[in-house]
Structure 1
Amino acid sequence: MSTTDNDLKPEEFGQAAAAAITDAQARGFRDAAQVLAGAGLCGVCASEEAGGLAVGIEFALPIVAEAGKLRLQWPLLETILVAKALGQSPLAAQLAAGERVATWALQGSLQEGFAGQARHASHCDWALVADGQGGAALVDLGSVTIQDDAALDPEHPQAWLLLDKAEVLATVDAATFSALQRDSHILIAGLVNGAAEGALATTAEYMSTRVQFGRPLSAKQAVRHLLARMRLLQEASSAGIQRLLRTDEFGGARATSPVLANALASSAFVLEKSIHLHGGMGFTWEVPLHYALREVRKFDAAFGSGALARQVGRDFIQSV
């Protein structure tokens, strides 16, 4: 699809996605797949031959940001990326149509015999795992042993996959997988940034309506300073993510690791302070901000719990 001919705007994709995501949240896992696929979200970047829209990653970014904002518990980000990576394969068509759902194991490899940090693996059909040689493989989750890791999220745990008997359905070459990893960094940053944006909006509204000693809490200087700092971090993170969609001054692709590391850290800060400003109510059903914080922490753990930021620092020191 030509974005120029059709005059498509990425932000409109996010606005349209909100209704489908809200609908999907009230449904079971498989019904949610049909709702999201029916709205064109699962195949937004998939090839037209596979039933997708074949648009760039910039159109998927506002969709996953909306998913983060609304705290969607479904591997939309992973399904979008895997459907894109599979090209014209019939497997991609099944993902775009919501007939199958895919996740992505961010750690381990087929060569090592295990993979981990896969979201919603126990509900998915397929998982993308690194092959240990630069590429990746799509494996049938029915052929692997899944071990849930509930350390960070007992309700929606990450999973470890034992791959000694894994059935490989398709392979992804090194060049395609490298490009896909870059796309994943952008979308993960967008998702956690969206989660923080949703929390900030909820907190600002609560602070303006909660009255103590005759004044709303937002009238207190300490609260206003904290909200301003949260907004500053949020805007800086958003600007960094948007910058990744454009080439640098030499026409090359920008490094994604610094932006992803910053998005993870900033989102965690905003979410934790949102819970704090709610008086700790983020850990109640009434104010479910803890779900968003769990997602941020799970992604951070998948990249080494701060290791990404440390590597960015080392790379910078070595470059000067």
Structure 2
Amino acid sequence: MSTDPDLLYSEEEEALRAAVRDLLTDHCDAAGVIARMESDAPHDLALWKSLTEGMGLAGLLVPEELGGQGATHREVAVVLEELGRAVAPVPYLTSAVVATEALLACGGEEAAGLLTRLASGRTVGALAVGLHTAPGGAVKAVRQDDGRLHGELTSIADAAVADVLLVPAEDGGLYAVDTSDAAVTVAAQVPLDLTRPPAKVVLDGAPGRRLGDAEPAVRRALRAGAGLLASEQLGVADWALTETVRYLKERKQFNRPVGGFQALKHRLAQLWLEVVSLRAAARGAADALATGRDVDVAVPVAQAYAAPVAVRATEEALQLHGGIGMTWEHPVHLHLKRAKADSIAYGTAGAHREALAELVDLRAP
């Protein structure tokens, strides 16, 4: 019997995709997202409630006995593909994936209680580690003094809507900190990607509840974040390709569709090949995380490939949409900014190539 992974989508995964896409079509149209980016509240908490309380998607990775769905990373990857296509401004990757994975690594009653709250979607969590940090990378820790945390952390994605922060401390512990505490200050930072804004977090003697050891929890969380980010990048790239093909079929020049020009056909064909390869890499990473097989290879392979493809796909979309692609009203800029921001999230493509090289003892000079 073959032990090769089946990277095709199952019937259940396709049904999940259809349900999520229908919801996003009805409640996350491009005009609405762009309008939200001009407001003081970029996160769409109504959409978040529909995804979590309505569909139970925040608890996909949480065991059923803790109030979750007991699903796998493959199902989460499908959700992230659709969220990437819509550039949905919700804290799904940060709360339902990264923070959840950190808590799953901790064990204990405190972590279990938090997992139940995160699975319901009524509580949003965020790992207080810079979004740029690669799995195994250096993590900034805060000072812990008799259960009180002191320090400043930057580039914490979705911290503005987090109810609880998971904070690594210098004593080696991971602590839960409620953002409602007066000793916690969360200040927005200027983002490139307006749909996933980062923030600076200042802890001035904030009370923290120890959850477990920080190092294994952070490593597990960042590894899952990097692996499943590739599925979000796939969604971004696939939207860019699909919309560009549709536009070039409709746009006419010299009384013929622009898409009929040979040079543009070649560009689109090359992009299609890259997006198909990205799908294989992203599915490989999701399956590896779900099964625990070859994770140390599949995740960096996916991230090393995903970032440049997503960026190139959105850049091509911008160029091939011509003048309309340069307008604020067209959503291509949202996808380009998400692709650019994702390209440095959870480690750059270069950092993941270095991780792969280390596995075969091929170190950089």
Does the alignment reach a TM-score above 0.5?
yes
1:31 to 25, 46, 53: 46
Partner residue in 2 for 1:83: 100
Structure 1 distance, partners of 2:193, 2:332, is 13
Cα deviation, 1:33-68, whole Å, max 9, x if unaligned, reads: 321111111111112123210111111000011100
Partner residue in 2 for 1:117: 155
Does the aligned pair in 2 maintain the 1:10–1:59 contact within 8 Å? Answer: yes
Partner residue in 2 for 1:98: 121
1:163 to 186, 203, 213: 203
TM score, norm. by length of structure 1 = 0.84
Q: Residue 17 in 1 paired to residue 20 in 2?
A: yes
Does the aligned pair in 2 maintain the 1:207–1:218 contact within 8 Å? Answer: yes
Ranked by relative contact order (alpha carbons within 8 Å, sequence separation 6 or more), the top structure is 2
Q: Residue 139 in 1 paired to residue 177 in 2?
A: yes
Structure 2 distance, partners of 1:67, 1:168, is 32
Q: Residue 73 in 1 paired to residue 111 in 2?
A: no
Counterpart of 2:342 in structure 1: which amino acid? Answer: F
Partner residue in 1 for 2:107: none
Partner residue in 2 for 1:218: 259
What is the CA-CA distance between 1:131 and the residue it aligns to?
4.1
Structure 2 distance, partners of 1:298, 1:216, is 33
Does the aligned pair in 2 maintain the 1:126–1:139 contact within 8 Å? Answer: yes
Does the aligned pair in 2 maintain the 1:151–1:157 contact within 8 Å? Answer: yes
Does the aligned pair in 1 maintain the 2:62–2:68 contact within 8 Å? Answer: yes
What is the CA-CA distance between 1:316 and the residue it aligns to?
6.8
Structure 1 distance, partners of 2:172, 2:165, is 17
Change (3 A) 1:86 1:287: same
Does the aligned pair in 1 maintain the 2:101–2:217 contact within 8 Å? Answer: no
Structure 2 distance, partners of 1:73, 1:245, is 22
What is the CA-CA distance between 1:110 and the residue it aligns to?
3.2
Counterpart of 1:224 in structure 2: which amino acid? Answer: K
Structure 2 distance, partners of 1:24, 1:119, is 23
Structure 1 distance, partners of 2:207, 2:325, is 41
Structure 2 distance, partners of 1:42, 1:240, is 24
Change (3 A) 1:301 1:245: closer
Q: Residue 42 in 1 paired to residue 82 in 2?
A: no
Structure 1 distance, partners of 2:188, 2:231, is 26
Counterpart of 1:123 in structure 2: which amino acid? Answer: V
Greater CA deviation, 304-313 or 16-25?
304-313
Partner residue in 2 for 1:180: 221
Does the aligned pair in 1 maintain the 2:141–2:167 contact within 8 Å? Answer: yes
Aligned residue for 1:114, secondary structure, equals strand
Q: Residue 299 in 1 paired to residue 314 in 2?
A: no
Aligned residue for 1:99, secondary structure, equals coil
Q: Residue 152 in 1 paired to residue 192 in 2?
A: yes
Gaps of 5+ in 1: 1-6
Structure 2 distance, partners of 1:188, 1:142, is 29
Structure 2 distance, partners of 1:229, 1:134, is 47
Partner residue in 1 for 2:230: 189
| Residues matched between the structures, number | 313
What is the CA-CA distance between 1:8 and the residue it aligns to?
6.8
Does the aligned pair in 2 maintain the 1:115–1:129 contact within 8 Å? Answer: no
TM score, norm. by length of structure 2 = 0.75
Structure 2 distance, partners of 1:228, 1:210, is 18
Change (3 A) 1:73 1:47: same
Does the aligned pair in 1 maintain the 2:61–2:73 contact within 8 Å? Answer: yes
1:287 to 317, 330, 341: 330
1:58 to 74, 87, 96: 74
Q: CA RMSD in A?
A: 3.1
Structure 2 distance, partners of 1:131, 1:193, is 34
| Pairing of 1:259-270 with structure 2 (within 5 A) | 259-270=302-313
Change (3 A) 1:64 1:48: same
